[in-house]
Amino acid sequence: MGRNSKNFNRKDKKKGKNYLTPIKNIKNSSFLKKVLFEMNKTQMLLKEEKFKKKFLSNLKGYYLIRRNIFNEHYYLENNLDVAKSTLDPLLHYLLYGFYEGRKPSYNFNSGYHLVKFRNKGKTGLNSLIKYILDVKKDNKKYKEKTKQKTFEEFLTESYNSPLIYSEDFNQYKSCFNEMKNISSDLIKIAENLKDPPLVSVIMPVYNRENVVENSVNSVLNQSYPNIELIIVDDGSIDGTLDVLQGIKDERIILVKNKENQGQTKSRNIAIKASKGEYITYLDSDDDWDKDYILAMMGAFLKLKDADLIYSGQKMFENRNLFAVRFASFNKSLLRNQNYIGINTLLHSSKIFKEIGTFDETLKRCEDWELLERISTKFKIYSVPILLSNCYEDHAKNRVSLRSNISYCEKVREINLKRFKSSIENKPIFQLNKNVSIIILSCGSVEKLKKTINSVFKLKLDEWISTIVILRKSDKDNPLLKKITNDEKIKLINTNNEEDKSNFLIEKDIFDSNSDIVVLRDNVILTNETIGLMQKYSYNLKNCGLLIPQQIIPGKSGLVEKLSYYANPNYEYDMTPLLNQNNIINMDKFHSGKVLELNQGILSCFYIKEDVFSKINKMKIELNQLNDFNKEFFDSIQKIGLKIYNVSDAVVYCEF
């Protein structure tokens, strides 16, 4: 926590002021408990001096923020100091987090609003509360002026920002209609199946007597004709088993655990009992629209090379639709933060033979770990339809947010470690054409040394014609002279005090019969980077420029500028830019492999010899948060060529 937060924690804990008992799953308690809990919060606000003046307005704002802006799971996961305390998370945010620039949810930037909407004068209202009340007052005018999003805008925005909240639904009306049209088209494809393959539905259940029947019926009422439903009762001690035994349908296979073994083990038990060619999942407190499986099978028939597909999902709280979750498949985001609900998956059962089933050492977030494992070996597609429904507060025994966070952290670490290990252990990808490597250097010599070492580590000497270093400043540095003491390295000093961030690359500085790889001096190449960039440059239609995943570290202050949804404490690909909308021509069904761009950050890229001969020179801007190299990108597009970003090729950027 910040300085004020620590004081708040230390002093008020002794006084018992503004503290709640550890957060429990109150939403699923009795009505009386809910009322008492809300009274407790109201009493808590009354005790806080900052809220006493204009208390009713502050109270109204508190609940508006909780409903429209604040995401408790996000706030706790990204602020472990708050998660470890017993503070009410929203109260902490209002009193301290907002003023410290902490984000309350995936898509609300506290720092921006703090500057723009800080109160002038003493109004008796918390700054953020005043802002949200003003927004509420002007909400009707806002909705009337809101421009409708095109479906392509929706698909490209979703790549970095998977959540759309109810207050923004008006912008996406035509997009939601298009998703319905896609569903209808996929249903028609599946309806033509003469011999529909068996689909196994996996459903673990524990103490869900009040909601499980709805979930089971949503499976049994599916329009797809060939399903089996494997339900594993995980030692329920309420009336769940009685409810299940009362549902008579030959498509149900009911497995009873003698004692509670957890949802991960129960899912694996169900998978072992399944016979389907395809596997899908439904939690026992959620449900599907009746055509869900039919539409998803239509997508599988359409996407011939797919191993796993996933769709979007409607999110409900208190039976009210509060958000829609969908993202075009983004491998970097999946490693950083899960955005794919298990109830939206359909995949071939053959996957398990190669990679195994759910990791039983994980009690929670096991679906995220499995998804990431699948993504490293199999083809995944996103399917933009909305036929799956998630109820955030439906069941009485949903896992509390605080207990879930440690598992999220564990799975994230597993995913990132696995990814890095797979990158490091891959063999060096051999080349078919010579390349010249140009390093743009204006940073520390130590970082430059790491970049050069990552080039030599590839052992591609016979294919690398020359290494050119365009260096600004300190050309007489002894370490610089030492690391450039190689016959293949050409050091060119381009010092210009008035223009330190611009580099001009012309054909007379490198081997004109080679392709070009341009690196910034903070880039670390991986084994396959150059080879894969060369391969895609020649295989992709009209490729003018090829950019790899450019991974930046967490806690760099940059991740949150690239994606509202990503966890800023962990690494992320900086190539697709949310605020600049630099993705164009996004595939309706996206595999996460290739994106087309119209501008972007360039720390590493590949350009073919014949392409460079057409443009003659390249002006690269390293202060890239200003213009995103639009001029250079335009020069490529003017000659009828395209700029691609490929996720298979990876570099790491140090800051």
Q: Residue 258 falls within a domain, yes or no?
A: yes
The least confident of 155-164, 326-335, 614-623 is 614-623
Write out the two tokens for 487. 């016959």
The least confident of 270-274, 429-433, 480-484 is 480-484
Residue entry with tokens 């060369």: 534
Q: Residue 191 falls within a domain, yes or no?
A: yes
- pLDDT for 434-449, tens place per residue? 999 999 888 788 889 9
Q: Are residues 133 and 155 in the same domain?
A: no
Whether 38 has a pLDDT exceeding 70, the answer reads no
How many domains does the chain fold into? 3
Stretch 206-218: mean pLDDT: 94
Q: Residue 330 falls within a domain, yes or no?
A: yes
Q: Domain containing 468 — which CATH number?
A: 3.90.550.10
CB 127 within 8 A of CB 119: yes
In 384-484, DSSP assigns E strands to 388-391, 435-441, 464-471
Q: Higher pLDDT residue, 630 or 592? A: 592
Q: Are residues 379 and 255 in the same domain?
A: yes
Tell me, what amino acid is at 421? S
Composition of the chain by helix, strand, coil, percent to 5: 40, 20, 40
Residue 24 confidence (pLDDT) = 36
Whether 176 has a pLDDT exceeding 50, the answer reads yes
The least confident of 131-135, 329-333, 581-585 is 131-135
Confidence class of residue 256 from pLDDT cuts 50, 70 and 90?
very high
Q: In angstroms, how far is the first alpha carbon of the chain from the final one?
A: 24
Stretch 68-92: mean pLDDT: 77
Whether 286 has a pLDDT exceeding 90, the answer reads yes
What is the domain extent for residue 195?
151-396
Confidence class of residue 560 from pLDDT cuts 50, 70 and 90?
confident
Q: Are residues 25 and 57 in the same domain?
A: yes
Residue 409 confidence (pLDDT) = 86
Q: Residue 626 falls within a domain, yes or no?
A: yes
The least confident of 48-57, 102-111, 265-274 is 48-57
Whether 107 has a pLDDT exceeding 70, the answer reads no
User: What are 618's strand-pairing partners?
Assistant: 505
Q: Are residues 209 and 132 in the same domain?
A: no
Residue 538 confidence (pLDDT) = 97
In 343-434, DSSP assigns E strands to 345-348, 380-383, 388-391
Q: Higher pLDDT residue, 618 or 520? A: 520
Q: Are residues 471 and 576 in the same domain?
A: yes
Cα-based angle 416, 419, 421 (whole degrees, multiple of 5): 105
Q: Are residues 360 and 498 in the same domain?
A: no
Residue 166 confidence (pLDDT) = 84
Q: Name the residue among 316, 242, 229, 303 with its Cα closest to residue 270.
A: 229
Confidence class of residue 330 from pLDDT cuts 50, 70 and 90?
very high
- Name the domain boundary from 368, 396, 424: 396
CB 566 within 8 A of CB 614: no
Residue 101 confidence (pLDDT) = 67
Summary mean pLDDT of the chain: 82
Whether 316 has a pLDDT exceeding 70, the answer reads yes
Stretch 146-156: mean pLDDT: 90
Whether 137 has a pLDDT exceeding 60, the answer reads no
Whether 267 has a pLDDT exceeding 80, the answer reads yes
Torsion of CA 451, 457, 458, 460, to 10 degrees: 100
Q: Residue 596 falls within a domain, yes or no?
A: yes
CA 436 remoteness from chain centre: 35
Give the span between the Cα atoms of 621 and 632, in whole angstroms: 9
Q: Are residues 165 and 137 in the same domain?
A: no
Contacts by 105-113 with C-beta closer than 8 Å and gap 24+?
105/69, 105/70, 105/71, 105/74, 105/75, 105/564, 106/71, 106/74, 106/161, 106/163, 106/564, 106/565, 107/161, 107/163, 107/165, 107/564, 107/565, 108/69, 108/564, 109/560, 109/564
- pLDDT for 378-436, tens place per residue? 999 999 999 999 997 655 544 444 556 778 888 999 999 999 998 888 888 889 999 99
Give the span between the Cα atoms of 583 and 578, in whole angstroms: 9
Q: Are residues 366 and 449 in the same domain?
A: no
Whether 136 has a pLDDT exceeding 50, the answer reads yes
Write out the two tokens for 527. 């084994």
Q: Residue 34 falls within a domain, yes or no?
A: yes
Residue 218 confidence (pLDDT) = 97
CB 451 within 8 A of CB 519: yes
Q: Are residues 51 and 157 in the same domain?
A: no
Confidence class of residue 19 from pLDDT cuts 50, 70 and 90?
very low
- pLDDT for 455-470, tens place per residue? 999 999 899 988 888 8
Q: Residue 598 falls within a domain, yes or no?
A: yes
Q: Are residues 603 and 488 in the same domain?
A: yes
CB 386 within 8 A of CB 311: yes
Q: Residue 416 falls within a domain, yes or no?
A: no
Q: Are residues 519 and 591 in the same domain?
A: yes
Cα torsion 613, 615, 620, 624: sign: negative
Name the percent of the chain lying above pLDDT 90.
53
- Name the domain boundary from 366, 396, 426: 396
Global pTM? Answer: 0.82
Angle, helices 127-137/110-117, rounded to nearest 10 degrees: 80
Q: Are residues 591 and 611 in the same domain?
A: yes
- Name the domain boundary from 373, 396, 419: 396
